[in-house]
Every structure is written in C-alpha cells, then in structure tokens.
Structure 1
Amino acid sequence: MAMAALMIGAFVGMLSETSLNIALPQLMDAFHVGSGTIQWLVTGYMLIIGIILPLSSLLTKWFTTRQLVISGLCAFLFGAIISALAPSFEILLLGRMIQGVGTGIVLPLMFTVAMQIFPPNRLGAAMGVCAMVIMLAPAIGPTVTGLILAKLSWNWIFWMFVPFLVVAIIFAFTSLKNTTEITKPKIDYLSIIESAIGFASLVASVSLASDLGLTSPLVIGLFILAIVVLVLYVHRQLMLENPILNLKIFSIPQFRTGALLVMIDFGIILSAMYLLPQFIQNGLSIAVALTGIIMLPGGIINALTSAIAGRIYDSQGAKKPTILGFIIALIGALMLALATPTAPVWYIILAQIILMIGCPLAMSPAQTYALNAIQGPESADGSTIMNTLQQIVGAIATAVATILLAAGQNTIAGSSAVKFTNGTHYGFYFTLVLIVIGLLLSLTIKEDQHS
C-alpha cells in the first residue's frame, strides 16, 4: 500500500512520456505548427525531467517522502489539466513541462522507497514490480493513445491521466510514510546551476539533432556546452564533502555494471517503441487505432515478464537472466530489422513479443544487481543516478533512431512505404547494436551469492 502512490505516479509519468508520439500528427494539425515545433512537447517534457531528476537525492534530505510525493503528484495533475484545456501550443507546452516536474520528483523515489522498506531476500521481487510499472507504460502507451484518437480528440490523452493521479494522491495521504532521514545539508547552488545547464543542454542538443541535423550550429553549440558544464559538474561533485549527487558510488564495479546495463536496456526499448508504431502506420499502411491494438500483446507480455524477472533474480542472481534476456531481445530486434512492407501482422506481433520478453528479463535483474551493491543513504543516490541516466539515454536513443529513420528513407527509391521501411531498418540496426553491447557487458557480471 505504501508503494501504490509511487507506482501509479511513476506509471503515469512514463505513460505521458511515451504515449504522445502517436498523437503528434494530430497535434500538428490542431495547432498549425511544424514537426520541429511539435517535437518540443516530447523534448520539453524530457528537458524538465533531466533538470529535476539529478536533484532528487538532495530533495529527499530536505523534505519528507510524503511531502515530495504529494507535491509531485499534484504538479502532474495541475500540468495534465492545463494541457487538456490548452487553447494554444504555448499553453500545452507549459502544461507538459509542469508534468515533467511531477515525473522528475516521483520516478526516482519509487526505487528509493522500495530499497528502504523491502528486505534483501524480497528486493528482487519488489524491483520486478517497479520495473513492470516502468516497462508497461512505453509498451501500452501507443495502444491507449491509438484507441483514444480513433474516437475522441487529443485533449482526452491528458484527461485520462487525471483519475489515476487522484487515486495516487489518496494513497499518498492515507498510506505513505517517510522513509529517508531529513538531514538538511548545506545546498551548493553552483552544483544545481551546473546540473540544470548541463543536463538540459544535453537533452536539448540530442533532441534537436533529429530535426535540425547533426551539423546544425545550434546542436553543436548546445552539445559542447553540455559536455563542458557536465565535466565541471562531475569534478565538483567528486571534490565536495556533501555533493548534490554522490558520483563516488560509480567506483563500485557491481553498481557501475548494473547501471550501464539498465541504461542500454532502456535505450533499446525507447528506440524500438519509437520506430515500431510509425512502421506499422507508414510501412504497413495500418490505421492508428489498429496500430495500438497490434502493439497490445507485446505490452501485456512485457508487464508479465517484468514481474517474473524480479523473482528470477531472487533465486538465480543477475547473470543468467540478463544474458538470456539480451539473446532473446536480439532475435526480436533482428526480426523487426528484416520486416518488409508486405510482412503479415502476426509476424510483427511475434517479433515485438520476443523483444518484450528479452528486454524486461535483462532489465529487472540488472537494476537489482546494481542497487544491491549500495546501502543506506547511498541508495537514494544510486536510484537518482540510474533514473537520470535512463532519461538521458532514452532521449539520445530516440534522437539517433529519428536521424537514422530519415537517413534510411533518403538512400532508396520506391514508394513511400518502401522508403519508410528502409528508414525503420536503419533505426532497428541501431537497436541491434545496443543489444549486442548489452549482451557483451552482461558477460562481465560477477556471480553473486544467489548463484
């Protein structure tokens, strides 16, 4: 019951992050804006999350868990209502960015609280359920949005968040207790400024690259600014006695390996789930509502596998399920990379199901493996670091997939369906590269006491 408010909040946050992709064409028509402008609904949301997430560990030392969760859920509710009622693109973007504040607060807290309230022998199962919440949203987002857009206006995408958030706020008031120690450490404002500029510039540069191109002066300038500021930020965190983010935990091999595997896995999921609904619509010429239904079986399998994967960690450890997960994901991604405009629907559903078995099978054990290496106050830092890097990698993976999608379409002659299919092949080659890197890295997992 204590976790219910956090899980619902994190689910709605991730659903909001991934469900809007399928609605962007309708929003372009509704507000009479181009693809470069409309992309800010995704970029702006991730931008705010990228600024708020690195501050999560600091916030837990200044405010109670209950205060933070209720504030985050209320911010998201307020943002969703603004977005649903938005008369202009600017107001819609403002609503999206307020939602980003809520997600940035609630998302890392879910893992931090789980680390505090579950004993080690049940942590794998608990993390499995948390991973299921995170993984289910990107998988069912297109389905839900497709069904809404088939019958209702785009406003209802935002209205659907409201009942979930109201229930989560009720759970937060009735069941949530404080799990972290309030120490109110001295705040290093320069670190906060560096964090905001560095992470925001990085997310903005990779997001804009998909629209403006890699050689755009703005993209290059933002990327250089991000690297310089983040190097200064990392150096400052390592020097401070009470850093905003305790980056020293990267010196723990178990945490480092697990965190990298989680980042790669998240990149695999977001790149594939960005490409697949577009391929179904533009490559296979299937309507938006049916696209959502086609993607539903994979979403259900994803959720079930996530829940089971946590329990597998409790009995088998991390190495076996992680390696097996990446091997299975490799088969699914390869099937999608070989799909043609005449591919039968059952083939696409099967390929997505295989991918959605592999990714969560690797994700949940890797995450628990990383977080098990750290204890006490460091668990909040570990959770914050992993969630921050997930969002950054997610933004980068989506941007790279977009760039490759456009590049692939321009290298072949033929119908629009043939050209778009070639573009998605280029994008799925990137997904395959990530899977191979993840598989090789998973071989370095040290067998632990479970094995």
Structure 2
Amino acid sequence: MPAGESGTAYSHSPHNASETRHFDHPHKVMLGLYIGAFLGMLSETSMNIALPDLMDEFSVSSGTAQWMVVGYMLAIGVVLPCVGCMLKWIKAKTLVLFALACFLVGALVCTVATSFPVLLADRIVQGISTGIVLPTMYASIMRVFPPYRIGAANGVAGLAVMFAPVIGPTLAGALIGALSWRAIFALFAVVAVIAIVCIAAFFVTPIECTRPAVDILSIIASALGFGCLVAGVSLISDMGFSVAVVGLLVIGVVVLALYAYRQLHIADPLLDLRALGIAAFRTPAIMVSCSFACTLAFMYLVPQELQRGLGMSSTLAGLLMLPGGIVNAVCTLMAGRLFDRHGARVLVWIGVVMAAIGGALFFAIGVDSGVVLFLAAHIIVMVGIPFISAVGAVRCAQIVAGPHGC
C-alpha cells in the first residue's frame, strides 16, 4: 500500500480515479476541515449574541445590524452552488487553504474595524470562505471514508459543526462581558490559523480535478438569483413588501427558474439538479434543508429574544443557550452511529416527535414563564433536530457515494 501525502497510507484503484481511498487515519486527514467547519458555525452563532453591542457601537438599527448575519449567509448561499465546479478545477487543499486565509484576513480586519461598512464587507468575505469549506468537508468525507463508515464519519463532522452552537453564544457573551465584541473576531483569527496549519500538515486532496467546461452564464445566474432572493427575504423585516423588496423577490425567483432549466439542459451543469429527481436523494435533502433552517432560526432568534425581549445580558443569554447546545452536539454525534445500527425510520420519528413537542413548548413561553420552560423547550428541540438532519445527511452521502453514484 503506497504512501500518500503527509505520510498517510491509502489504497487507490487505478481503474477509477474517483473511487474512495482508504486512509489509515482518515480523521487526521479531515482534522483541518473539521476545524474550518467549526470556525464557520462559530462565526455564525457568536455573532447573534454580539448584534446588540454592534447596534450600540455603530449606532445602527436592528435591521442594519442583522446584515452581519444575513450578509454572511448570503455569501454562503451565493458561493456554495459553485464549489462543486471549483473542486473540479482547483485542488481541494489549495482551495481550502485560500478560503481559510481569506477568513483569517477578514477576521483580523474586523478586529480593528472602525466603521460598520468595513465590518460588514469583511464579514461577507468570511461567509464566502465558509461557503467553500463546508461543502468541501462533506465531499471529502465521501472519498476519505469507505461507505460503511460514512454514517459515523458524518456524526463526527456534525459534531464539529454543531459544537460551535454549544460554546458560541456562551463564549461570545463571556468575551463581550470581559473585553468587547472585537475579542470575538480575534478568537476567529486564532482558530483560522489552527485550521490552516492542520490543512497544510495533514489534508490530502481526495477529489480529482477533471476540469470540465465552465458555464459562465450559470455562475452569473446562480449569484444573481440566490443573491436577490436572500436579500429580498432579509429586507422584509425593515421595508415590508415594498416595491424594491417585491422586485428583488421576483427577480430572484425568475432567475433561479431559468438557472434550474439551464442546469437540466446543458452537458456540464454547475449544479446537477437531476439528483433531485431521485426520490431516495430528494427526501433526505429536504430533511437536511428544513432541519438546518430550523437550527439557524433558533440560533439567531432565541439570543435576540432573550436580550432584547426579556432584557437579559449577553453573558446570561449565552449561558442559557449552553444546555441545549450541548444536547445538540451529543445527539449529532450519536445519530450517525445509531443510523449505522438501527437505520433511518426510528431516528426520523424520534426527531420529528421531539422537535414538535419542543416547538409547541416555545409557543407557551411568555415574559413571566421563567427560564425552566425555556430550557426544557430548547433542549427538547435540540434533541429532535439533530436526528432529522443527521439521517438526511447520511442518506444523501450514501446515495452519492454508492456503487452507481447519484
């Protein structure tokens, strides 16, 4: 068995360059990507706690401050559909190192930023970096691990991603209380350096560069369509359904419809939407999307409500998010292994029932409810969502990595 990069041994069939390599230490190979994905979610969840302080620091409205989150997500949404094409043209290791280096620069600039536009611009740069790292991690899992270990591997990846919400709000609240919001970006820079070192030392490029034809029109349509749609939805809170907002939404929907039509009718699509025509892939993909949307909604709305609605400090709000975050991370890690042992149906039903119960409890929370009801509702929801998302992610990965692909 020959030695691969970084001294990692693997077996690789010469007949199919895209077949899975079998690494002696696959988690070591993936370590830098795990840390990079953790950094991306840490950046997302930490910023939710910091928004009230940014509003006071730069004298901006809640709607404007929200662009620190919305702009980050918008950048992810725009770049993510293009990552598959990037990985076919650029070595995964080179692409990830570039993305993390950009994140590092963005974090350093944000640490010393003196105006909100500069802060937001570099925040968007960080979003672009996260949009590259996250899909690259999951694409690499399917090639670094053999199919029978994909469930457990996705559990570890899920833990890396979901551990950030465990400590993000609490850590951000503590840093703001002890220092300032700038310390959060300084922490991002430190984590980015660690991720870069691990990628440089251990990561092996597992994805073959085939360099297919690039459809520039698809790239433009993807950026315009997703950008207008996300921007339109985000502006509703400030501008309502004004002419500008409706215009953005209409442009986004129309352009994405044309984009989808083009992807289905060209030889080398930027994003192969034909996979959604396969029910075995479509259903878990929808599960992942919905559960992740719920997770982001809780991460964003709950800290805002605790601080602005109930008048709690950033430190206390972060501490109240901690138990649910811990449960979320543990359940995410367990879900992959339970899937390998018991299959999808049981886990999905557990997840749906728990999420429904927790969501119902949230409707009962009022200003006089106290923290016990909040903690119960948050923990129950954080039990349910990981089971749904983990099952969906593993099923998608197994189908794509199967003997015939997707």
In the alignment, structure 1 residue 152 sits paired with structure 2 residue 179: yes
In the alignment, structure 1 residue 34 sits paired with structure 2 residue 61: yes
Residue of structure 1 aligned with 2:230, choices 183, 192, 203? 203
Residue of structure 2 aligned with 1:325, choices 308, 327, 351? 351
Q: What corresponds to 1:231 in structure 2?
A: 257
Contact kept, 8 Å, 2:173 with 2:316, in 1: the verdict is yes
After TM superposition, give the deviation of residue 223 of structure 1 in Å. 0.5
Q: What corresponds to 1:22 in structure 2?
A: 49
Residue of structure 2 aligned with 1:143, choices 170, 178, 200? 170
Residue of structure 1 aligned with 2:112, choices 85, 92, 101? 85
Q: What corresponds to 1:256 in structure 2?
A: 282
**Aligned-partner SS, 2:183:** helix
CA distance in 1, matches of 2:369, 2:301: 16
What is the CA RMSD across the aligned residues, in angstroms? 1.7
CA distance in 2, matches of 1:30, 1:344: 30
Q: What corresponds to 2:400 in structure 1?
A: 374
Question: What is the TM-score when the length of structure 1 is the normalising length?
Answer: 0.81
Gaps of 5+ in 2: 1-27
Look up the equivalent residue of 1:280 and give its one-letter code: L
Q: What corresponds to 1:62 in structure 2?
A: 89
Q: What corresponds to 2:268 in structure 1?
A: 242
Residue of structure 2 aligned with 1:194, choices 221, 224, 227? 221
Look up the equivalent residue of 1:286 and give its one-letter code: M
Residue of structure 2 aligned with 1:113, choices 119, 137, 140? 140
Q: What corresponds to 1:342 in structure 2?
A: 368
After TM superposition, give the deviation of residue 378 of structure 1 in Å. 9.5
Contact kept, 8 Å, 1:79 with 1:95, in 2: the verdict is yes
Post-superposition CA distance 1:326-376 (Å, at most 9, x none): 101111121121012122323222221111111112211121112211237
Report matched runs for 1:289-300 at 5 Å: 289-300=315-326
In the alignment, structure 1 residue 273 sits paired with structure 2 residue 299: yes
In the alignment, structure 1 residue 43 sits paired with structure 2 residue 70: yes
Q: What corresponds to 2:188 in structure 1?
A: 161
CA distance in 1, matches of 2:99, 2:318: 29
Residue of structure 1 aligned with 2:387, choices 322, 347, 361? 361
Post-superposition CA distance 1:15-61 (Å, at most 9, x none): 21222122112112211222232222222222221111110000110
Residue of structure 1 aligned with 2:210, choices 165, 178, 183? 183
CA distance in 1, matches of 2:94, 2:136: 12
CA distance in 2, matches of 1:212, 1:135: 33
Question: CA separation of 1:273/1:43 partners in 2, compared to 1, >3 Å: closer, same or farther?
Answer: closer
Q: What corresponds to 2:31 in structure 1?
A: 4
Runs of 4+ in structure 1 displaced over 6 angstroms?
Answer: 376-379
Look up the equivalent residue of 2:242 and give its one-letter code: S
Gaps of 5+ in 1: 383-451
Residue of structure 2 aligned with 1:123, choices 129, 150, 173? 150
CA distance in 1, matches of 2:263, 2:318: 44
CA distance in 2, matches of 1:141, 1:268: 17
**Aligned-partner SS, 1:248:** helix
CA distance in 1, matches of 2:402, 2:149: 17
After TM superposition, give the deviation of residue 237 of structure 1 in Å. 0.7
Contact kept, 8 Å, 2:150 with 2:397, in 1: the verdict is no
Contact kept, 8 Å, 2:147 with 2:402, in 1: the verdict is no
In the alignment, structure 1 residue 285 sits paired with structure 2 residue 315: no
Q: What corresponds to 1:390 in structure 2?
A: none
CA distance in 2, matches of 1:231, 1:242: 18
CA distance in 2, matches of 1:378, 1:137: 35
Post-superposition CA distance 1:277-334 (Å, at most 9, x none): 2332344433221111111111111111100000011011111101111101111121
Look up the equivalent residue of 2:221 and give its one-letter code: E
CA distance in 1, matches of 2:257, 2:212: 23
**Aligned-partner SS, 2:172:** helix
CA distance in 2, matches of 1:15, 1:38: 18
CA distance in 1, matches of 2:294, 2:122: 28
**Aligned-partner SS, 1:54:** helix
After TM superposition, give the deviation of residue 120 of structure 1 in Å. 1.6
Look up the equivalent residue of 1:164 and give its one-letter code: V
CA distance in 1, matches of 2:201, 2:161: 24
Q: What corresponds to 1:437 in structure 2?
A: none
CA distance in 2, matches of 1:374, 1:152: 46
Report matched runs for 1:422-441 at 5 Å: none
CA distance in 2, matches of 1:42, 1:170: 27
CA distance in 1, matches of 2:390, 2:38: 16
**Aligned-partner SS, 2:271:** coil
Look up the equivalent residue of 1:11 and give its one-letter code: F
Question: CA separation of 1:202/1:139 partners in 2, compared to 1, >3 Å: closer, same or farther?
Answer: farther
**Aligned-partner SS, 2:365:** coil
Look up the equivalent residue of 1:225 and give its one-letter code: I
Residue of structure 1 aligned with 2:127, choices 91, 100, 106? 100
Residue of structure 2 aligned with 1:302, choices 307, 328, 340? 328
Q: What corresponds to 1:434 in structure 2?
A: none
